[in-house]
Amino acid sequence: MGVLKLRRSCRRRRRGEGIIIITIMAREKIQIRKIDNTTARQVTFSKRRRGLFKKAEELSILCDAEVALIVFSSTGRLFHFSSSRYYSHYYYYSIANRCCP
């Protein structure tokens, strides 16, 4: 029997003589609102930031586009992404200081 690849998370259960039943579990929808717990908010921020930077990188590769991304955390820390090497760290900090002193 071949390997079945699914894009969503799934559970496999064996029933009877070699029969495999696969149930697909959909993602749970979440409400978009501020997270009150500080630790949970920071964890969510870091995970979503990584995902956002990954999407920016994919966009630059797939579409051959110049992508620059600047993100400020709730503590005021600056995170940046650039698809090209032309932009230096100094450039990002100068933009950040002009936009958000």
Mean pLDDT of the chain: 79
Q: Which residue has the higher pLDDT, 5 or 54?
A: 54
Q: How many CB atoms lie within 10 A of CB 15?
A: 8
Residue 27: pLDDT band with limits 50, 70, 90: confident
2 assigned to some structural domain:
no
Domain CATH number, residue 101: 3.40.1810.10
69 assigned to some structural domain:
yes
**Partners of 68 in beta bridges:** 82
Residue 6: pLDDT band with limits 50, 70, 90: very low
Q: Which residue has the higher pLDDT, 32 or 12?
A: 32
Supply the range of the domain harboring residue 71: 38-101
Q: What is the pTM of this model?
A: 0.61
96 assigned to some structural domain:
yes
Alpha carbon 59 to its chain centroid, in Å, reads: 13
